[in-house]
A and B are shown apart, each in its own frame.
Chain A
C-alpha cells in the first residue's frame, strides 16, 4: 500500500490505517520534538497532540508527494513544540545588534556522528536551539522564524550565529577530548 492510499484511509477514520501511519512516522516525530523540548515526557505528549492535529487535518491535506506529506507533518509538530515553549516561557531570545554570519564547516560536521551533533544540539540554550533547529534542520527562512517566534529577522540571525559559535566551541572541545583519549 502506498502512502497516498494510506492517507486516504486515515482520512476515512480507519483505525488500522491510522495505527500504521502512527507506527511509520511516530518515532521520527518524537526525535524532532526531543530536539526542541529536551524532556522526553513532554516530547511524547507533543507527539500525541501533533498526531491529533494531523489526523484531524488529513481531510484538508492534498497529497502530492511523500516528501510533501512528511514536510507537512513536521511543520505541525514544530508548531506544537513552539506553542509548548511559549506556554512554558522556556526560551528567551536576546536581541542583538551584531549580525555577522558565522559559518560552521560542513565537512567537520559531516565527519561527526549524528548522535554527537544531536547531543550537542540538546546542550544549546532553548532560544539558540529553537532557531538552530528551525533554520538548519527544518529549513525555515529567517523571515518565517521571525514570524513564528515573534522576533525580528536580525534577532533570528544573531541567535543562529550564537548557536553556531556555541556548537563550534562544544565540538572542538569534544574533538580535543577525543584526541587526548587516543593519545
Chain B
C-alpha cells in the first residue's frame, strides 16, 4: 500500500505502479540491445579515417607507378643527358688546359696531372686561337654515376596532339520558294539587314509633310537580293 498521499487523483494515478516490472532485468536487456551499436559508433570514425588514408595511399602509389607525363617531375635524381651521348664532365669555369674537342666524352686529364700555369694555345672547333692565361687548373667534376649502375630510361615525351576543332557540317535546308523569308533565307545569312526600316511614305502623308513643312523621310533601303528572290524581284519589276 502506498503511504504517500497525493493532492489529487491525477498525481496518484501518475505515481501508481502496476507492478510486474523488473528494472534490473530491463536494464540488462537494454544494454544487450544497445551495446553493439555503441561500440560500432566508437569504432566508426577510426574506420573511416583508415579507409581514407588507404584510398589516398593507393592513389599515390598508382600515380608513381604509371609512366609520367611532361608535367610530372621525376622521382629520383635523373641525369640531364643520358643514353643520347656519353656523359661529359661538368666544368665549373672555362678550361685553361688543352681541350680535346675531337674526343668529346672521354675522360679528361685529372686536375692533379695538369701543370699549373702552363700556357697552351690550341685551336678550338671554331678555328679560333684561345689564349690560355696562367690560372690554376680547373677542377673537373665527373658526373656521379648511379649507385646501382643501372641504366635509366628517359620517358619519351610525345607531343600532345592538338585537337582540331570540329567544324560544323553544313546543313542543306530545302525550303519551298513560298516559304523563303528574306531574313532567314540560308543564302542571306551574311547579308546585313538594317535594324530600322523606314516605311514607304504614303501619298496622304506626303501632303501632311508638305503642310507642316516637314521633310519626307528617306525611302526604305533596298536589301540585296540574291538567288531565287532576285529572280522573283526581277520578274516583278518586269
Interface set of A (CB-CB < 8 Å, partner B): 13, 19, 22-23, 26-28, 30-32, 34, 40, 44, 47-48, 51-52, 106, 109-110, 112-115, 117-118, 121, 136-137
Contact = CB atoms under 8 A, between A and B. Distances in A.
Contact of B30 (A34, A51, A110): A51
The interface residues of chain B, by DSSP majority, are classed as helix
B84 interface: no
4 interchain residue pairs of minimum CB distance? A114-B12, A109-B9, A114-B16, A30-B21
Nearest to A52: B34
Contacts of B18: 30-31, 34, 40, 118
A27 B9 contact: no
Nearest to B37: A52
Nearest to B21: A30
Contacts of A137: 10, 13-14
Interface in B17-65: 17-18, 20-21, 23-24, 26-27, 29-30, 33-34, 38
B21 A44 contact: yes
A48 B33 contact: yes
Contacts of B17: 27-28, 30-31
Contacts of A19: 27
Given A13-B38, A51-B30, A110-B8, A26 B21 contact: yes
Given A26-B23, A114-B12, A114-B15, 12 more contacts: A22-B27, A22-B30, A28-B15, A31-B18, A31-B21, A48-B29, A112-B9, A114-B13, A118-B13, A118-B16, A136-B10, A137-B10
Contact of A31 (B2, B16, B24, B38): B16
22 contacts: A19-B27, A23-B23, A23-B24, A27-B17, A27-B21, A27-B23, A28-B15, A30-B18, A30-B21, A31-B21, A44-B26, A48-B26, A48-B33, A106-B8, A109-B8, A113-B12, A114-B13, A114-B15, A114-B16, A117-B9, A117-B12, A137-B13
A9 to B, nearest CB: 15
Contacts, number: 71
B25 to A, nearest CB: 10
Interface residues of B, number: 23
B13 A48 contact: no
Most chain A Cβ neighbours within 10 Å, of B12, B16, B20, B38: B16
A23 B13 contact: no
Contacts of A114: 2, 6, 9, 12-13, 15-16
Contacts of B30: 22, 48, 51-52
A31 B38 CA distance: 28
A109 B38 CA distance: 46
B29 to A, nearest CB: 7
Contacts of A109: 8-9
Contacts of A27: 17, 21, 23
Contacts of A110: 8-9
Contacts of A47: 26
A65 B10 CA distance: 21
B130 to A, nearest CB: 85
Contacts of B16: 31, 114-115, 118
Most chain A Cβ neighbours within 10 Å, of B9, B12, B27, B29: B9
A33 B23 CA distance: 15
A136 B11 CA distance: 10
Given A13-B38, A28-B17, A115-B16, A23 B27 contact: yes
B41 to A, nearest CB: 10
B22 to A, nearest CB: 9
Contacts of B26: 22, 26, 30, 44, 47-48
A49 to B, nearest CB: 10
